[in-house]
Amino acid sequence: MRKGERVTEPRRAPGLSKSGEKRMGSFDIAIVVLYLVVVTAIGLFFARSIRTEEDYIVAGRRMGPLWLTISAFASWTGLAGLFGTPEMVVRYGISGTWWWFTFPIGLLFMGMFLARTVRQRMHVTTPDIVAEEYPGSVRVAASLVTSWNYLAWAAAQVFGISMVFTLFSGMDPRTGAVVAFLVVIVYTMLGGFLAVVATDVLQAVIFLVVIGIVAPLFVVFGPGVPHVYEATRDIPGFYNLFANVPPSTLFVWFLLLPAGFIDTIGFQRVFSADSPETARRGLINGFVLMAVFGVILTFLGIAAKALLPADTNPVNAMPDLMVQLLPTGVIGILVAAFLAVAMSTASTTLLITATTLQRDIISRLRPHAGDRERLWTSRVLLLVLGLAALVVALSVPGIVTILMLGFSVYVPGLLLPVLSATFGWRIPAWSMLATIVIGAVSTAILVLMGEPGGIPASLVGFVLSALPFAAGLFARPARQPA
C-alpha cells in the first residue's frame, strides 16, 4: 500500500460467494502454506549471513542494480495500488491510472536527483540525511516522523492481508492475517535486509507472472482486445487521461509525487547499493518496471469495465476479474501472488521502523553499545513493533485515521529538511527542528479534525512547515568572501 492511499473496507466479491470452485480448496491452501514456508526458510538462511548491524540494515552495501531494481519494485507495489488502480480505471476511465503513477514519478526524480549524492555520503537512515550536521533533537524529530509513517504503513498491510483472505478463503480473515504477518515478522527479524531483498525477488516473480503476464494473456486470447475496446469506447471521457476524475481528487493524488521523492523505501535501496551509480540506475530501472506494471494494471482495469457486470462494485474489480479470467484450481497461486504484494511491503516498512528507532534514538542513549548489542536491539524492536502493528490493525476501529496520520505527516515534516540537507541549503538548527515539528504536528491535527473545508491536510501542513524553513533561510549568516 502506498502512502496516502484510501483504505477501503474489505467486501466479499460477488463472484466469490456463489460458487465453491471460486474458494480455496485443499490444493490451494497447500500452495499458500508452501509459499509461507519458503519465505520463512529464506529468512532463516540469510540469518546466518548477518554479522554486523550494517549487514542487517543495508545488506553490507553490496546490492547490485538488478537486485536493487526488483526489490524496490516489489516493496513499492502494495495491495492498495494493485487493487486500487483497476478500481479507479473502472470508476473514471484511464485517467484513474494517475492513482498509480504519481508516486513512482517521485521515485524517478529521487533516482535522477538524489540517489548519487545520498549514496556517496554513506547514510543508513533518512534521519541521517536530515540531521548529519544538527543536534540530537533534530534527529529524534526526524526519526519519530519516519517511524510513525512506516509503522502505519506496516499496519496497513495487515488490513490488506485480511482482505485477501476475506475474498478468497473460508477461513477467518483475522487468523489468516495473523499467520501471514507473523511470517513476515519472523523472516525480517532474522534475516534483515538481505532476507527482505531475497523475498522481494521471489514475491515480485510470483505476482509479475500471475498478474503481469498470465492475466493479460487470458484477456488477449479470451474475449480479445477488440471486444474490450468496443465495450468501452463510447463511455464519455473513458480514454481521456485527464477527464472524469474530480480536480480535487486528482490534486490529492499528485500530492503523492513529493512523497515518492523522499520515500524511505527508496532511500533504503540507495543506502544498500554497491555504488552511487548503482543507486541511481536501480531506482530509475525500478520506475521503469513500475511504469510497465502500471500500464498492465490499467489494461486490466479497462478489461474489468468491459467484462464484469455493470453492477460490480469497483472495489472488487481486480479480484473479480482475476477469478473470471484464471482457470479453476489456481486460486491458491492467486492468493500467494496477492499475499506477496502485501508481505514485500510489510517486511520493508517494519525493518525501516525498527532500524530507524534503534539507530537514531536508542543508540544515542547507549553510545558505547557494541555492534552485537545494536543488532539484537534492532531485532527485538522489529518483533515488538510488528506485534504492535498487528494488534492495532486488528483491534482499532479507526484504523483509517491512524493510517492517514502516518501517511499524511511525512511530506510536510520531512520534504524541505531532506532537500535542505541534500543540496546544502544550511539553515539554523531551530529552523530545521521547527520545520519538522510544525509540518508533522499541524498535519496530524488537521487529519484528526477531518480536514476542515475539504483542504488536504498535507498541503496545509507543508505550507506551514515552509514558514520556519523560509525564516531559517533568511536568518543564515552571509557567506564570507573567499
Q: Which residues lie closer than 8 Å to 425 by C-beta, 6 or more apart? A: 419, 473
C-alpha cell at 217: 494473456
CA 447 to chain CA centroid, Å, is 20
Which CATH number characterizes residue 367's domain?
A: 1.20.1730.10
The answer to whether residue 172 is domain-embedded is yes
At residue 81, the pLDDT reads: 87
DSSP string, 141-160: HHHHHHHHHHHHHHHHHHHH
Closest CA to 469 of 419, 423, 422: 419
Residue 235 is part of which domain span? 19-397
The answer to whether residue 164 is domain-embedded is yes
Query: Cα dihedral sign for 272, 273, 274, 275?
Result: negative
Q: Which DSSP letter does residue 327 get?
A: P
| Strand-pair partners of 63 | 273
Rounded-to-integer distance, Cα 250 and Cα 96, Å: 9
The answer to whether residue 458 is domain-embedded is no
Rounded-to-integer distance, Cα 41 and Cα 186, Å: 10
The answer to whether residue 36 is domain-embedded is yes
pLDDT tens track, the chain, 482 positions: 444 444 444 343 333 333 334 567 788 888 999 999 999 999 889 988 888 888 999 999 999 999 999 999 999 888 888 999 999 999 999 999 999 999 999 999 999 999 999 999 999 999 999 998 899 999 999 999 999 999 998 988 888 888 888 888 767 788 888 999 999 999 999 999 999 999 999 999 999 999 999 999 999 999 999 999 999 999 999 999 998 999 888 988 998 899 999 999 999 999 999 999 999 999 999 999 999 999 999 999 999 999 999 988 998 899 999 988 888 668 888 899 999 999 999 999 999 999 999 999 998 888 888 888 999 999 999 999 999 999 888 887 656 666 677 878 999 999 999 999 999 888 999 999 999 999 999 999 998 898 998 888 999 999 999 999 999 999 876 554 43
Q: Which residues lie closer than 8 Å to 38 by C-beta, 6 or more apart? A: 202
The answer to whether residue 282 is domain-embedded is yes
Closest CA to 154 of 248, 265, 54, 32: 265
The answer to whether residue 404 is domain-embedded is no
Closest CA to 315 of 4, 16, 2, 9: 9
How many domains are there within the chain? 1
CA 341 to chain CA centroid, Å, is 10
Q: Which DSSP letter does residue 63 get?
A: B
The answer to whether residue 475 is domain-embedded is no
**CA end-to-end span of the chain:** 50
Helix or strand or coil: residue 273?
Answer: strand
At residue 479, the pLDDT reads: 53
The answer to whether residue 312 is domain-embedded is yes
Q: Which residues lie closer than 8 Å to 453 by C-beta, 6 or more apart? A: none
Rounded-to-integer distance, Cα 83 and Cα 176, Å: 19
pTM of the model: 0.88
